[in-house]
Amino acid sequence: MKLAGKTDVGRVRQENQDDYRAGELPGGAVWALVCDGMGGARGGREASQGACNVIENVFQEQYAQCGAGQEEAFLKKALIYANRFVFQKASHEESLAGMGTTAVCALVRGGTVYLCHAGDSRAYLFRAGKLTQLTHDHSYVQELVDCGTITVEEAEHHPQKNIITKALGVDYRLEPEFTSEKLQKGDVLLLCTDGLTNMVPVDQMEKLLVQGPFYDTPDRLIEAANANGGSDNITALLLAVEPTEVEHG
């Protein structure tokens, strides 16, 4: 696997409340994580960084116990640990009250990507020139789309697009969503915050993903988001599947 990531404050916000992590694991596996904090100037940053720290520690200290077929339980546990950490910190520090963070976490091994998420940070699969969203937004606007109240096109510019229905740290209980997808050689996974998806249409992202060297792709995506307004923090994290990972699993 090849990994490339970047985060940027954007053109409007005063500070960057996004965070991301990624790393290699035993047996040729890799993991990746993107978080988008919310809840005031200090709270958003504390939430995203705290969640990333907890999830990174779970991978470092407990991944060895994640056997075949245990990927869902392992990823959900990582996000639930992070949820409790952020919730308890927000409960004990008045200046952090109400903070939370989205999270989208990927584990790639054995030719499959396993995904666990909460909120509206997304995971996409780029295959044969087409970008497909793998995660389902936990947002008020997505619920309106799901029940047929508004169209996908109307959702793009809905005034309440920023209302999240699930996030880490908001409630002591969390049920993150899990999904998985078989990978093929040449596939690219994109994990990103809404600072990218709200600014750069899918068709533009598809063009940018094939324009130049893989390791420059996060820069190209962020440059496009800023050129289109840069109204939020922007994070793009990419994982490219090389042939040997899938063929030899």
102 CB-near residues (< 8 Å, 6+ apart): 35, 36, 38, 117, 118, 119, 120, 121, 164, 167, 168, 193
183 CB-near residues (< 8 Å, 6+ apart): 108, 111, 112, 113, 125, 189, 241, 245, 246
Instruction: Provide the 3-class DSSP secondary structure of residue 83.
Output: helix
State pTM to two decimals: 0.95
Distance in angstroms (rounded) separating the CA atoms of residues 200 and 222: 9
Compute the residue count for the chain.
249
Residue type at 130? K
Q: What are the pLDDT digits (tens) for 225-242? A: 999 999 999 999 999 997
Q: What are the pLDDT digits (tens) for 111-126? A: 999 999 999 999 999 9
Distance in angstroms (rounded) separating the CA atoms of residues 57 and 165: 26
**Whose CA is closest to 239, among 197, 181, 200, 198?**
181
Q: What are the pLDDT digits (tens) for 147-191? A: 999 888 888 878 887 789 999 999 999 999 999 999 999 999 999
Distance in angstroms (rounded) separating the CA atoms of residues 229 and 216: 21
CATH class of segment(s) 2-248? alpha beta
